[in-house]
A and B are shown apart, each in its own frame.
Chain A
């Protein structure tokens, strides 16, 4: 047996140990009917939120490994609505390619990952978008010394773009419509496509304007880069969930409306406690749970709204905290009362 020993023994030992290592993983996999996402999340006690692998302003771990960003704050708001605690959420970074399978398979409960709402994603991929938390559009960024002032001047240019996104298709549509010839450089990973642009492999880099602003502001000399004024597409971004549990989708939807309505009513992280006690406007009283039982209709505690706003602030505050530092203006994302598109249905 002497010569046979090493290999067989190695194999056996490792098999036994591997099993020991794998068991916790399998134990963590939950058995739950897909239709009842809400119940599954409740019984687990944490929300699993799919976020970007690293996009400044939207979802990115900071130096201490804590997730920060606009989408991340939405995840925290969802967790607070569900459990009253903004920390009961686990963030799963997903690539552009893996995000949809991750949501379909139940690896994540909700995807808040700057994803564009399109008809085919809503239907043939089997998702429900729960609102538009950011109105975006696709633009171009070029180096300032290139001397280009408008996207129309990009004929013959080499353009860096990420594949598998609506960006890629919009670019093709736009170029065709304006009779512009371009050479694409198509690279999947965000850091790599940005790297290619910075290295001068491409003349222009195209993605959503918010993404361009994030990339630009992260540069050492942001003024070396210029975002062209042309916006070539509509990119309504929002959180999405699997089809099949309308109650869960409703909750996600109304968390967004809550954040918008709170801004409209001037309720902020700082004054929400006070408003819950003293505000005399009937709709605010209903919204914050002082009167009526709107919270219970949604399937959560009646003071859910107070907790959510105390945890993350209102829509304007979230925007200010995460996106304003990138140099993004409110634009379409201003409230409808200020000429923007953010509008919440009544809390009644």
Chain B
């Protein structure tokens, strides 16, 4: 650190000194310290490890990951992939992992949107709006997340039963069994339309690059949005139309104990998502606010003086600068949200922690169970960090 910007002349290799075996030699001291610390930590780890091995043996606790291929026998309420209790522990854990990702990904997207809106609202000229946003941020950040989750779960449980479900719009039912929505019966045409939509995004992106490059040459700004609309909306609709425009909706119908058909958002998932999004949005709002405030007032004024439209001021001048301040702390909020999703276990949403927990309970193999939880979160954390670092590096390049 202290070497990085010193005079280059000082960076020449120092004269070779013989390593004297004396406490006054800095290198000797360094080596001694390291050996000492590594030795002590190594000894502690070895001690814990040998205790563990001994205990496992004495207590006849099975070890190893052999249980992964045994039949789990545990029912799981919601799953993104096909699952039945006859499947293996491995598949059950996979379902748990997907459930974690399901809540984390949706949560990150919603929390970013809500947090940004609240952060901007806090800077609004409208006194009432700014105050309310301020109160929201203060209150939400000063209450434990677990308490908020339990609170939302109780609130959702106190909704009326399925036979007296609230019906804000025909076909949508809100009851203590969750939110029932009509679902589209999935057919191949929808898959192709989705593919076309993805292709549309890529096409738009390419067009935008091309338009930018052309603008650099001839100074003519080109509108991107008509092309974007055509590619991202028109193309999928056309594909869907060409394949016969299938449109069968599965409406939820009350039959027996509960609704049949349609798709369900369970109270457990709903409470978890609500709690995570509202909580994290409070923190994101502060980050966004700090980011916008970090852009000097002169930048706003200069951009306005250039005659840029307000949207352009925000898009071209303020946001690129604010983002550089926003992205690093935002990364840690995304990580927090993902890690906090592990509180699902308290309200009965079966994420990876909940299922690993049940697994270790049934098999008695605590070490393996906790190792799985930690490994999964380390991997997710690392992936988010890498992605956000990449994104950060990308937006940092805008600086000239």
Contact = CB atoms under 8 A, between A and B. Distances in A.
B348 A188 contact: yes
B385 interface: no
Interface stretch (A15-23, A84-92, A199-207, A325-333): A199-207
B61 A201 contact: no
Interface in A85-144: 96-97, 100-101, 104-105, 120-121, 123-126
A183 B30 CA distance: 62
A113 to B, nearest CB: 14
B16 interface: no
Nearest to A244: B58
A126 B77 contact: no
A185 B363 CA distance: 21
Contacts of B346: 188-189
A176 interface: yes
A97 B357 CA distance: 8
Interface in B350-367: 350, 354, 357-358, 360-364, 366
A184 B77 contact: yes
B86 A176 contact: yes
A126 B59 contact: yes
A150 interface: no
A242 B60 CA distance: 10
Interface string A231-268: 00000000000111000000000000000000000000
Contacts, number: 120
B61 A200 contact: no
Interface in A184-215: 184-189, 192-193, 195-196, 199-201, 203
A173 interface: yes
Contacts of A125: 60-61, 364
A185 B77 contact: yes
Interface stretch (A153-161, A273-281, A287-295): A153-161
A164 B61 contact: no
A163 B58 contact: no
B177 A96 contact: no
A203 B177 CA distance: 10
B32 interface: no
Contacts of B366: 101
Contacts of B176: 199-201
A97 B358 CA distance: 8
Contacts of A168: 73-75, 358
Interface in B149-208: 154, 157-158, 161, 176-177
B157 A196 contact: yes
Q: How large is the interface on B (under 10, 10 to 19, 20 to 34, 35 or more residues)?
A: 35 or more
A200 B159 CA distance: 9
A163 B77 CA distance: 12
Contact of B354 (A161, A186, A200): A186
A239 B177 CA distance: 38
A306 B47 CA distance: 47
Contact of B357 (A164, A173, A195, A199): A164
B85 interface: yes
Interface residues of A, number: 47
A90 to B, nearest CB: 22
Given A97-B357, A101-B366, A164-B362, A156 B60 contact: no
B73 A173 contact: yes
B121 to A, nearest CB: 35
Interface in B83-98: 84-86
B357 A188 contact: yes
Nearest to B355: A163
A176 B85 CA distance: 9
Contact of B348 (A123, A172, A192): A192
Contacts of B74: 163, 168-169, 172, 186
Given A168-B75, A171-B75, A172-B74, A126 B361 contact: no
A200 B345 CA distance: 20
B228 interface: no
Interface stretch (B139-147, B239-247, B256-264, B284-292): B256-264
B73 A172 contact: yes
B361 A163 contact: yes
Interface string B246-260: 000000000111101
Contact of A242 (B59, B157, B347): B59
Contacts of A120: 364
B75 A186 contact: yes
A156 B357 CA distance: 27
Given A164-B357, A185-B348, A188-B348, A200 B161 contact: yes
A340 to B, nearest CB: 30
A228 interface: no
B157 A169 contact: no
A41 interface: no
A162 to B, nearest CB: 10
A207 B350 CA distance: 19
A341 interface: no
A185 B344 CA distance: 13
With most chain B CB atoms within 10 A of its CB, the pick from A96, A155, A169 is A169
A185 B77 CA distance: 6
Contacts of B86: 172, 176
A98 to B, nearest CB: 9
A298 interface: no
A140 to B, nearest CB: 13
Contacts of B60: 123-126, 243
Nearest to A35: B58
Given A184-B75, A184-B77, A186-B354, 17 more contacts: A126-B59, A146-B257, A157-B256, A157-B258, A158-B257, A158-B258, A163-B361, A164-B361, A168-B73, A169-B74, A169-B85, A171-B75, A182-B75, A186-B75, A188-B354, A189-B346, A199-B158
What are the 6 tightest A-B residue pairs by CB atom distance, in nearest-first order? Answer: A164-B361, A172-B85, A126-B60, A187-B348, A169-B73, A199-B157
Interface of A: 34, 96-97, 100-101, 104-105, 120-121, 123-126, 146, 155-158, 161, 163-164, 168-169, 171-173, 175-176, 182-189, 192-193, 195-196, 199-201, 203, 242-244
16 contacts: A96-B361, A97-B357, A101-B366, A124-B364, A126-B60, A158-B177, A158-B258, A163-B358, A163-B361, A164-B358, A183-B77, A183-B258, A184-B75, A186-B76, A195-B157, A243-B60
